[in-house]
Structure 1
Amino acid sequence: MAFPIVDRPAAATDTSTPVRHAVIFDLDGVVVDSFAVMSEAFAIAYAEVVGDGPAPFEEYRRHLGRYFPDIMRIMNLPLAMEEPFVRESYRLADQVQVFDGILELLLTLRVRGLRLAVATGKSGPRARSLLDRLGLLPFFAHVIGSDEVARPKPAPDIVRHALNLLDVPPERAIMVGDAPTDLASARGAGVASAAALWAPLEDVGELLAGGPDVVLHRPADLLALCPAVPAG
């Protein structure tokens, strides 16, 4: 018995979806579950730089998708927190988990001929190091960090850069993210956006209010939007 695996917003009436040639992924909350590691690294950095008291990780998490220094500025926290946060993130990287279904998704997309990239709020070196450690780096033609573009998310620069590197026009790509900043970056670049709901989210309503083109409940749902790329 057939059943729907993708929720489309009610306002979406155009069913003529172009064949996708590329998928651009956010990293944290989409490909990897790194929230526990982030929380510990953030707490250590806060204690070292700010001092005693509870680290405001829940507020930090609401800004995920942005570049770490930008989050510090938004939260009025010292930029000096970046060094211990990055140090601890590297130290704890072995504790990061790949979401169930992601490996199978990446394998299938590659077999179907799609080109894959990561556009993340992390720095490029840290993102590539983590993916390499997890054995996922070979799946991605490009991994772009927020330190490698002029304006990080929610600006469209990182998605446009990914498109240029992939040599794919905006209408032939889709971006998968779990934060409003991801959706805004995709929209600004003229790329369709998919909201990923397989990670525990603090505010699903805020993500959906960002106006994703589609909503995905599990990684395999993306396959309905990404058939095999025609040969030739």
Structure 2
Amino acid sequence: MAFPIVDRPGTEADPSVSARHAVIFDLDGVVVDSFAVMSEAFAIAYAEVVGDGPAPFEEYRRHLGRYFPDIMRIMDLPLAMEEPFVRESYRLADQVTVFDGVVELLLTLRTRGLRLAIATGKSGPRARSLLDKLGLLPFFAHVIGSDEVARPKPAPDMVLKALDLLDVPAERAIMVGDAPTDLASARDAGVASAAALWAPPDDIGELLAAGPDVVLQRPADLLAICPALSLR
């Protein structure tokens, strides 16, 4: 299957994809690079709750996008790992970085009049705390965590809630994610999806097989399908 690959940022809309009024972003792996922090927090939580031995972080990473308790159930690990994992994630939050080009992308999208939201596997309070610490919270009209919907990703509930809060029809929004769970959530909500490749996924083949509508090599590539509202 061939996917439109946007490889040159610009102000004109890609004619193969209709222009958008809103962008819904996943957080980890799309807006922020938190993998090192997650790995350390996961290792500490595993040691505290499970005991000695290597923490299976690579397997955990394959399930990113899902809510932490759901991942524990899938991996058959104790739900008690959530408390130390969250504790350490807060403690290490100052080590999380923003991907190159993301701030510029958010500034341009806001200037062009698009509405922005976050739909993340994190809990809402933890996502908002991290975004606030990084100075990014004002960019987003809404930040929706996995604990704030009945069914987190890969169900469509988070994306549907974002559409409702943003007051944007599904056909005028796009979801940017780096995991198959993100793309599934977007698809089942009737929203176009973009696969973000600036943080190389654990399995690019699996991500592409999930059927993104657009593949983005870097953050600025999204601008090609997000022209200014006033230019439409």
Letter in 2 for 1:190: G
The 5 Å alignment of 1:127-142 reads 127-142=127-142
TM-score (norm 2): 0.93
Letter in 1 for 2:203: D
The 5 Å alignment of 1:160-171 reads 160-171=160-171
Alpha-carbon distance in 1 for matches of 2:16, 2:211: 19
Alpha-carbon distance in 1 for matches of 2:224, 2:174: 12
Letter in 2 for 1:49: V
What are the Cα deviations for residues 99-126 of structure 1, in whole angstroms up to 9, with x where unaligned?
A: 0000000000000000000000000000
1:182 alignment counterpart: 182
Letter in 2 for 1:103: V
The 5 Å alignment of 1:142-157 reads 142-157=142-157
Letter in 1 for 2:24: I
Alpha-carbon distance in 2 for matches of 1:158, 1:24: 10
What is the SS of the residue equivalent to 1:143?
strand
Letter in 1 for 2:89: S
1:195 alignment counterpart: 195
Shift of 1:231: 7.5
Shift of 1:202: 1.6
What are the Cα deviations for residues 32-58 of structure 1, in whole angstroms up to 9, with x where unaligned?
A: 000000000000000000000000000
Alpha-carbon distance in 1 for matches of 2:202, 2:19: 33
Alpha-carbon distance in 1 for matches of 2:19, 2:222: 13
Letter in 2 for 1:143: V
What is the SS of the residue equivalent to 1:205?
helix
2:10 alignment counterpart: none
What are the Cα deviations for residues 28-81 of structure 1, in whole angstroms up to 9, with x where unaligned?
A: 000000000000000000000000000000000000000000000000000000
TM-score (norm 1): 0.93
What is the SS of the residue equivalent to 1:230?
helix
Letter in 1 for 2:152: P
Alpha-carbon distance in 2 for matches of 1:174, 1:200: 20
Alpha-carbon distance in 2 for matches of 1:215, 1:17: 12
What are the Cα deviations for residues 4-36 of structure 1, in whole angstroms up to 9, with x where unaligned?
A: 9617xxxxxx94533311000000000000000
Letter in 1 for 2:18: P
The 5 Å alignment of 1:68-107 reads 68-107=68-107
What is the SS of the residue equivalent to 2:109?
helix
Alpha-carbon distance in 2 for matches of 1:129, 1:17: 34
The 5 Å alignment of 1:36-47 reads 36-47=36-47
Unaligned runs of 5+ in 1: 8-13
- Pairwise CA RMSD: 1.5
Residue 159 (str. 1) matches residue 159 (str. 2): yes
What is the SS of the residue equivalent to 2:117?
strand
Q: Report the count of equivalent residues.
A: 223
Query: Relative contact order (C-alpha < 8 Å, sep 6+): which is higher?
Result: 2
Shift of 1:90: 0.1
Asked whether the equivalents of residues 179 and 201 of structure 2 are also in contact (C-alpha less than 8 Å), the reply is no
The 5 Å alignment of 1:46-61 reads 46-61=46-61
Shift of 1:211: 0.2
Alpha-carbon distance in 2 for matches of 1:125, 1:16: 37
Residue 17 (str. 1) matches residue 17 (str. 2): yes
Alpha-carbon distance in 2 for matches of 1:231, 1:168: 18
Shift of 1:200: 2.5
Shift of 1:201: 1.8
Identical counterparts, % of pairs: 88
Alpha-carbon distance in 2 for matches of 1:201, 1:24: 19
Alpha-carbon distance in 1 for matches of 2:163, 2:68: 23
2:212 alignment counterpart: 212
